[in-house]
């Protein structure tokens, strides 16, 4: 199975709350298969899975990396009750750790973890951005007890070399929701997509990244008539500005940091 784990220490996010709210499923040629640790049945998961596949595999969808992940069944997917709630954070910690330490991330440049949230249903861009960063901070607060920040990236969201870290692995985060102004970020429910940062480095090393980037930007022009103004290459501007999908001003700071301080406490 694509989600078989490489040998690491046992998943430390194993509280009863985490297990009860774990929803991890792995993609297979025949659909979705529940991870061995997942005992929760959620009919919403299959509705969300179908909707996500329909969105990404539509001919005009711009992200060719997402298309590759779905075409190769190189992804895990889980559903949770409410973005940034205590129950969701516990379950998401468990599932994201399983994904971070899976063979899937090692095997392919397109490994993707998709988290879909039932609520909140009606949300604008500013509200979603607030909750997305609240969720990332909740993940970090739980994670810092067990793992250090991935040393290959910066923990400071103002740093051009920032990337979110969980379970010792750096991730690029893509936020999606019904109220997004970007067509490629518009989805029926709030969602967060996690891609291992090292995958982008692998694509660059293999000479694939620039070609993929040109293809995505050309598709964005056809889809929306403009390129997402927030997109930049790693090392030029902090990727934190890109996570929610909202166009942010030059003096933007992640929501939640007090006094302009890093929200992750580093």
pLDDT in tens, 212-227: 666 656 666 666 566 6
pLDDT in tens, 169-191: 999 999 999 999 888 889 999 99
pLDDT in tens, 230-248: 455 544 788 999 999 888 8
The crossing angle, in degrees rounded to 10, of helices 64-71 and 43-56 is: 130
Q: Which pLDDT score, from 0 to 100, does residue 1 have?
A: 45
Top pLDDT among 69 and 199 is at 69
Tell me what the mean pLDDT of segment 191-213 comes to: 74
Q: Report domain extents, the chain.
A: 16-249
Closest CA to 145 of 13, 261, 19: 13
| Separation of alpha carbons 258 and 44, rounded Å | 36
Residue 10, Cβ neighbours under 10 Å: how many? 9
Tokens representing residue 247 in the block? 């166009």
User: Edge-to-edge strands of the sheet including 112-119?
Assistant: 31-34, 25-28, 75-82, 112-119, 191-196, 169-176, 164-166
Q: Which pLDDT score, from 0 to 100, does residue 64 have?
A: 79
pLDDT in tens, 102-130: 999 988 888 999 999 999 988 999 999 99
């Amino acid at each position: 199975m694509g989600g078989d784990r490489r040998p690491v220490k046992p998943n430390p996010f194993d509280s009863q709350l985490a297990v009860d709210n774990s929803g991890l499923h792995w993609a297979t040629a025949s659909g979705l298969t529940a991870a061995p640790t997942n005992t929760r049945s959620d009919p919403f998961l299959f509705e969300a899975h179908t909707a996500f596949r329909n969105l990404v595999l539509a001919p005009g969808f711009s992200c060719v990396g997402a298309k590759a992940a779905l075409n190769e069944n190189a992804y895990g997917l889980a559903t949770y009750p409410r973005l940034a709630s205590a129950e969701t954070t516990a379950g998401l910690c468990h599932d994201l750790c399983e994904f971070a330490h899976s063979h899937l991330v090692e095997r392919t440049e397109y490994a993707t973890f998709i988290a879909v949230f039932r609520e909140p249903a009606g949300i604008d861009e500013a509200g979603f951005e607030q909750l997305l960063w609240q969720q990332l901070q909740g993940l970090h607060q739980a994670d810092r007890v067990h793992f250090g920040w991935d040393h290959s990236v910066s923990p400071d969201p103002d740093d051009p070399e920032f990337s979110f870290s969980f379970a010792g692995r750096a991730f690029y985060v893509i936020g999606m929701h019904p109220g997004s102004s970007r067509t490629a970020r518009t989805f029926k429910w709030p969602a967060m997509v996690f891609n291992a940062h090292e995958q982008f480095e692998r694509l660059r090393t293999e000479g694939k990244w620039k070609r993929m980037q040109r293809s995505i930007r050309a598709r964005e022009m056809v889809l929306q008539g403009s390129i997402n103004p927030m997109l930049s290459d790693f090392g030029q501007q902090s990727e934190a500005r890109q996570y929610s999908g909202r166009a942010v001003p030059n003096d933007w700071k992640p929501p939640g940091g007090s006094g302009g301080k890093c929200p992750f406490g580093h």
